[in-house]
């Protein structure tokens, strides 16, 4: 290789390294999910949905979040939730994490008024069940 080709090769390699997108961190994906869900504002229970967030070492979501179809695109949210679950599963496999293997039941959702503003979708619990 000629000496004049070496700088060009180095430049091309440097540009290619910068052009390669880095995978999103767990925190970035979680922040994206928070942004997509927003306030989960709703007008009725029919707009409220639930999405599994993260992944437990033995399978299933780590937790659940309520969201509203009023302002959130389901496909986009599902893609972000799937990405977060993949990151959690990969981290668990790398670190050989264990869990109690207790499956979390999928909660329901309801549209409820909140003190600081409009109605919001919330996870249904024994305390707020109709």
For 75-117, the pLDDT digits (tens) are 999 999 999 999 999 998 898 877 777 888 999 999 999 887 8
**Quick one: average pLDDT of 2-7?**
55
On whether residue 64 sits in a domain, the answer given is yes
Other beta carbons within 10 Å of 121: 27
On whether residue 91 sits in a domain, the answer given is yes
On whether residue 8 sits in a domain, the answer given is no
On whether residue 104 sits in a domain, the answer given is yes
Q: Which domain does 59 fall in, by range?
A: 23-123
Q: What pTM value is reported for the model? A: 0.76
Closest CA to 69 of 43, 30, 32: 43
On whether residue 11 sits in a domain, the answer given is no
On whether residue 128 sits in a domain, the answer given is no
Q: What's the pLDDT tens digit per position in 28-64?
A: 999 999 999 999 999 999 999 999 999 998 889 999 9
Provide the strand spans (E) within 3-95: 48-53, 63-68
On whether residue 40 sits in a domain, the answer given is yes
The yes-or-no verdict on residue 12 having pLDDT over 70 is no
Number of domains in the chain: 1
Closest CA to 90 of 64, 53, 55: 55
On whether residue 15 sits in a domain, the answer given is no
Reduced 3-state DSSP string for 32-100: HHHHHHCCCECCCHHHEEEEEECCCCCCCCCEEEEEECCCCCHHHHHHHHHHHHHHHHHHHHHHCCCCC
């Amino acid at each position: 290789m000629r000496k004049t080709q070496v700088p060009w090769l180095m430049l091309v390699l440097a540009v290619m390294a910068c052009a390669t997108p880095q995978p999103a961190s767990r925190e970035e994906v979680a922040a994206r999910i928070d942004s997509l869900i927003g306030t989960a504002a709703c007008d009725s229970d029919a707009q409220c949905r639930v999405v599994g967030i993260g992944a437990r070492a033995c399978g299933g979501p780590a937790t659940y979040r309520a969201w509203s179809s009023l302002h959130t695109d389901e496909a986009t949210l599902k893609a972000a939730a799937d990405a977060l679950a993949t990151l959690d599963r990969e981290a668990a496999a790398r670190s050989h994490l264990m869990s109690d293997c207790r499956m979390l039941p999928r909660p329901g959702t309801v549209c409820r008024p909140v003190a600081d503003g409009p109605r919001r979708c919330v996870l249904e619990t024994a305390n707020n069940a109709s």
